[in-house]
Structure 1
Amino acid sequence: MRVVIAEDDALLREGLVLLLGTEGIEVAAATDNPDDFHDAVAAERPDAVIVDVRLPPTFTDEGLRAAVAARKLVPGLPVLVLSAYVEDSYASDLLGDGTGGIGYLLKERVGKVRTFLDALHRIVAGGTALDPEVVTQLMVRRHADDPIRTLTPRERDVLSLMAEGRTNSGIAEELVVSEPAVSKHIGNIFMKLGLPSSESGHRRVLAVLTYLRA
């Protein structure tokens, strides 16, 4: 796996390079600003990018906009966003093309090495990996016509754990239910969100994207 990093904090940037290197992941470029990041993505065509939401010069949403531009340059490019905060605007911007391969972790999770690496591998495989705090905040920002409102409370619980990237067994363990019960809930979620078996693509990811875009 080859990745490009955009992180202005030198300690965190070099720490990521070292961590990924020890895991056999090549860092093709490690940049500290949006322009160099964009150039590196164009030149290297990496398997994934890791981007801090807030980059120079204004430290607002430059990293987010750079990630959106990178996915236009390399369609479907897996993006793992790092942020100290939950940014309101990222979901609609980053998920506008309707594909998977998206992760969003609060920076405090990077210290949990296995969680961070699992998230990176998950997005490269086309899945999603959302920080539990991100899921919690998105869950309360629902619109009146949100299709998620048709789900039962238990189905919402299952879908929110799917958004975090949990497997069926992991969801069953978290909710203290059986795996067949989880499978039944997921089937109901697919049906209510209009994702029939003939739908192209991975329905699990499509369900999560519907949840995030709502």
Structure 2
Amino acid sequence: MIEKRLRVVLAEDSVVLRDGMVELLGARGCDVVATAGTAPELLAGVAGFRPDVAVVDVRMPPTHTDEGVRAAVEIRAATPEVGILVFSQHIEAAWTSRLLSGGAAGIGYLPSSPASG
């Protein structure tokens, strides 16, 4: 029996974190079919590769405010069959509410705590 691997587009502006996440996801049986460092690259990757899931950082260039979660809202509207996992050290309540407004199916939000010193 052939096991289907989860196809992922990964959006993270830090190259070091992005490369580490690609390795981690690959080791866990996922196929990272595209990576993105900006929201436009994320949107293009999802449109071009039609992944099973997009893993999206909330804050991305150029302003590092809410570009990633805004792109996730666009992905949800255009391709609702693509699951979305949003992660961040920052809570973006307004955009996250918009993302979840169509229902929570296929959506995950993983807030992380900044490292404590």
Give the alignment's TM-score, normalised by structure 2.
0.86
Asked if the contact 1:42–1:73 (Cα under 8 Å) also holds between the matched residues in 2, the reply is no
Q: Would you tell me which structure has more helix in proportion to its own residues?
A: 1
Distance 1:63 1:53 in 2: 4
Q: Which amino acid aligns with 2:92?
A: E
Q: Which amino acid aligns with 1:102?
A: I
Matches within 5 A, 1:82-121: 82-108=87-113
Higher relative contact order (CA 8 A, sep 6+): 2
Deviations 1:32-56 (A, max 9, x none): 0011110110010000010000001
Which among 21, 41, 50 is matched to residue 46 of structure 2?
41
Which among 66, 73, 77 is matched to residue 68 of structure 1?
73
Structure-2 residue corresponding to 1:81? 86
| Equivalenced residues, count | 109
Which among 60, 71, 76 is matched to residue 55 of structure 1?
60
1:29 aligns with 2:34: yes
Distance 2:45 2:86 in 1: 17
Which among 3, 13, 25 is matched to residue 8 of structure 1?
13
Question: What runs of 5+ residues in structure 2 fail to find an aligned partner?
Answer: 1-5
Q: Would you tell me which structure has more strand in proportion to its own residues?
A: 2
Asked if the contact 1:83–1:106 (Cα under 8 Å) also holds between the matched residues in 2, the reply is yes
- The share of aligned pairs that are identical, in percent, is 47
> What RMSD in Å do the two structures reach over aligned CA positions?
1.5
Distance 2:48 2:99 in 1: 22
- How many angstroms does 1:99 deviate by? 4.2
Asked if the contact 2:69–2:96 (Cα under 8 Å) also holds between the matched residues in 1, the reply is no
Q: Indicate the SS of the match to 2:42.
A: helix
Distance 2:59 2:84 in 1: 15
- How many angstroms does 1:97 deviate by? 1.5
Question: What runs of 5+ residues in structure 1 fail to find an aligned partner?
Answer: 110-214
Which protein has the larger Cα radius of gyration, Structure 1 or Structure 2? 1
In the superposition, relative to structure 1, how do residues 18 and 42 fare at CA in structure 2: closer, same or farther (>3 Å)? same
- How many angstroms does 1:5 deviate by? 0.6
After the TM superposition, which segments of 4 or more aligned residues of structure 1 sit over 4 Å from their partners? Answer: none
